[in-house]
Structure 1
Amino acid sequence: MRHWFRSAQQRKIAALLLIFCLLPSLVPAQAASKPPQVRAASYIVMEFQSGRVLAEKDADVPRPPASMTKMMVEYIVMEKVRRGELHWEDQVTVSKHAAGVNEAQVNLVPGEKRTILELFTAMSVYSANDATVALAEKIGGSEEAFVGLMNRKARELGMTHTHYHNATGLDNHFYADPPNVLGSHVMSARDCALLARRLLKDYPEVTKIISQPRIVFRKGEPRQQRLTNWNLMLPGLRFYYPGVDGLKTGHTRNAGYCFTGTAVKNGMRLITVVMDTPAESTRFTATKQLLDYGFSQFTLKTFLSGGQVIPGYERVPVTDGVVPEIPLVTDHPVVFPVEKGQESRYTLHVDYIKRLEAPLRAGEVVGTLRILYDGKEMRNPDPIPVRVLQDVEKASWWELFFRKIGEEVSGLFS
Structure 2
Amino acid sequence: MKKSKKMLMQGLSLSVLLGLSSTSFADLVMNSSGNPGQAAMSWSSSDASQLLNNDSLDDDADEISPQGSTTLTTTIRQANNTPVTTTAKPVQLVDTSRYGSQPSVNARAALVMDAQTGEVLYSKNTNLALPIASITKLMTAVITADARLNMSEDITLQQIDFAGAGGKNSSSTLKAGDTMNRAEMLLVALMKSENPAAAALARTYPGGRSAFVAAMNAKARQLGMNTTHYVESTGLDPHNISSARDLGILVSSASQYGLIRQFSTTAHYDFNLGYRVLKSNNTNALVRNGGWNINISKTGYINEAGRCVVMHTTVNNRPAVVVLLGASTSQARTNDATNLLNWVSNLPKRI
TM-score range for the pair, normalised by the shorter chain length = 0.5 to 0.7
Where 1:233 maps in the other structure, the secondary structure is helix
Aligned mates of 2:308, 2:246 — CA distance in 1 = 14
Q: Deviations over 1:95-120 (max 9, x none)?
A: 3311433434342315x432111100
Residue in 1 that maps onto 2:129: 62
The answer to whether 1:187 aligns with 2:250 is no
Residue in 2 that maps onto 1:203: 257
Unaligned 5+ runs, structure 1: 1-28, 173-183, 300-336, 339-414
Q: Offset of 1:195 from its aligned partner?
A: 0.3
Q: Offset of 1:270 from its aligned partner?
A: 1.2
Normalising by structure 1, we get a TM-score of: 0.57
The answer to whether 1:213 aligns with 2:267 is yes
Q: Offset of 1:203 from its aligned partner?
A: 1.2
Q: Offset of 1:266 from its aligned partner?
A: 3.7
Where 2:245 maps in the other structure, the secondary structure is helix
Task: Say if 1:234 and 1:245, in contact at 8 Å, map to a contact too.
Answer: no
Q: Offset of 1:30 from its aligned partner?
A: 8.7
RMSD: 2.0
Matched-pair identity in %: 27
| Residue identity in the other structure for 1:257 | R
The answer to whether 1:279 aligns with 2:342 is no
- Give matches, 1:118-267, under 5 Å: 118-171=184-237, 184-200=239-255, 202-218=256-272, 221-235=274-288, 237=289, 240-267=290-317
| Residue identity in the other structure for 1:145 | A
Q: Offset of 1:166 from its aligned partner?
A: 1.1
Aligned mates of 2:247, 2:198 — CA distance in 1 = 18
Q: Deviations over 1:317-344 (max 9, x none)?
A: xxxxxxxxxxxxxxxxxxxx31xxxxxx
Normalising by structure 2, we get a TM-score of: 0.67
Residue in 2 that maps onto 1:78: 145
The answer to whether 1:35 aligns with 2:102 is yes
Q: Offset of 1:211 from its aligned partner?
A: 1.3
Q: Offset of 1:193 from its aligned partner?
A: 1.2
Aligned mates of 1:131, 1:223 — CA distance in 2 = 17
Q: Offset of 1:205 from its aligned partner?
A: 4.2
The answer to whether 1:114 aligns with 2:168 is no
Q: Offset of 1:206 from its aligned partner?
A: 2.4
Task: Say if 1:108 and 1:131, in contact at 8 Å, map to a contact too.
Answer: no
Residue in 1 that maps onto 2:157: 94
Q: Deviations over 1:97-145 (max 9, x none)?
A: 11433434342315x4321111001101100000001001111433233
| Residue identity in the other structure for 1:68 | I
User: Which segment drifts farther, 265-274 or 281-290?
Assistant: 265-274
Aligned mates of 2:258, 2:123 — CA distance in 1 = 25
Aligned mates of 1:215, 1:281 — CA distance in 2 = 23
Aligned mates of 2:253, 2:295 — CA distance in 1 = 15
Unaligned 5+ runs, structure 2: 1-95
| Residue identity in the other structure for 1:120 | L
Q: Offset of 1:293 from its aligned partner?
A: 1.6
Instruction: Label 1:169 to 1:196 Cα distance change in 2 as closer, same or farther (>3 A).
Output: same
Task: Say if 1:48 and 1:269, in contact at 8 Å, map to a contact too.
Answer: yes
Q: Deviations over 1:283-321 (max 9, x none)?
A: 11101111112221131xxxxxxxxxxxxxxxxxxxxxx
Q: Offset of 1:152 from its aligned partner?
A: 0.9
| Residue identity in the other structure for 2:208 | S
Q: Offset of 1:49 from its aligned partner?
A: 1.6
| Corresponding residue pairs, total | 252
Considering Cα pairs closer than 8 Å and 6+ residues apart, tell me whether 1 or 2 has the greater RCO: 2
